[in-house]
Amino acid sequence: MVSMQKVTKVVIPVAGSGTRFLPATKAMPKEMLPIVDKPIIQYIVEEAVASGIKDVIMVTGWHKRSIEDHFDYPYELEKRLLEAGKDKQAEEVRAIANLANFIYIRQKGPYGNGTPVLNARHLIGDEPFAVMWGDEFIHAPVPRLKQVIDVYEEYGKPAISAVRVPENKTDKYGIADVSPVANNVFKINRIVEKPKAGEAPSNLAAHGAYVLPPRIFEILEKTPLGQGNELWLADALSTLAKETDLYAVEIKDGKYYDTGNKLEYLKTVVEFGLRHEGLNGEFKDFIKNIAQSL
């Protein structure tokens, strides 16, 4: 294993408008939509923390203040809960604020998912860092980001989580052209952003959790605007792959949840509801009964 500087910072872009969930997201960030009783963004932060992250940098917009409020220390709420004898709930809301050090910056620059990464440059400095998106996560016994960090530490090279996707859905993801290395690890030759069906180099979507070197900032600065006249991280990663080995890590024993669209979001809510300790029995009966009645 290569001796590498520890990854302790993650950048999470959360400035998007969430137009696919309008009108629900007119006044509420899509990242705050609940999965049963916990917002999407909390699942992502908890995964990062379980992977060794200490500093969570969220790149936000003017309409995302409730995300900051969610991870703030809720003194008044905690006090009321304790006075009401709701000690468990008080501990739960207190723990949210103590998950990590939270830093918030506003997104500036052209549209595209490369911009918020570039915006965090002054907070990262010369360290390797992680990137995760605010509307998707993977449920796995070993956290997805931890699996990616492990590969980064073993090979000493940048790495990206990867999942297999149906061939008719490759136009929704950055698809990797890869060569096998070992087990679930692949060398990325290039990444094609949202290729049409039949034009994808594989069905391995490399996205979701990244461990990147600070060199990516210099590349992003010089990357021309791409598809949709936007700045894409995938374009910068293709350039990085020409300079150094870049690995895709196909996540072991994990299930991918894309909560950025309505159908997959609803599926996620139902699945997590069926898993919920306090709901699973009665809720499972409800699902069975309603399915039979339709």
Tell me: the pLDDT tens digits for 8-43? 999 999 998 888 898 989 889 999 999 999 999 999
Terminal Cα-to-Cα distance of the chain (whole angstroms)? 55
Enter the tokens of residue 219: 């590349």
Predicted confidence (pLDDT) per residue in 66-80, tens digit: 999 999 988 888 889
Is residue 134 within 8 A of residue 25, CB to CB? The reply is: no
Tell me which architecture the domain covering 9-260 has in CATH.
Alpha-Beta Complex (3.90)
Enter the tokens of residue 276: 């919920």
Phi, psi of 80 (to 5 degrees): -65, -40
Enter the tokens of residue 37: 């009783």
Inform me whether the pLDDT recorded for 294 exceeds 80.
no
Instruction: Judge if the upstream peptide bond of residue 116 is cis by omega within 30 degrees of 0.
Output: no
Neighbouring C-beta atoms of residue 176, cutoff 10 Å: 29
**Sign of the torsion formed by the C-alpha atoms of 37, 39, 44 and 46:** negative
How far are the Cα atoms of 38, 80, 185, 260 from residue 21, in angstroms, in the given order?
18, 33, 35, 8
Which of 261, 212, 267 has the alpha carbon at shortest distance from 234? 212
DSSP string across 198-264: T--S-SEEEEEEEEE-THHHHHHHHPPP-GGG---HHHHHHHHHHHS--EEEEPTT-EEEETTSHHH
pTM of the shown model:
0.91
pLDDT band for position 230 (cuts 50, 70, 90): confident
Percentage of residues of the chain with pLDDT beyond 70 = 98
Predicted confidence (pLDDT) per residue in 134-184, tens digit: 888 888 899 999 999 999 999 999 999 999 888 888 888 888 889 999 889
How far are the Cα atoms of 151, 175, 189 from residue 235, in angstroms, in the given order?
22, 12, 12
Enter the tokens of residue 134: 């605010």
Inform me whether the pLDDT recorded for 193 exceeds 80.
no
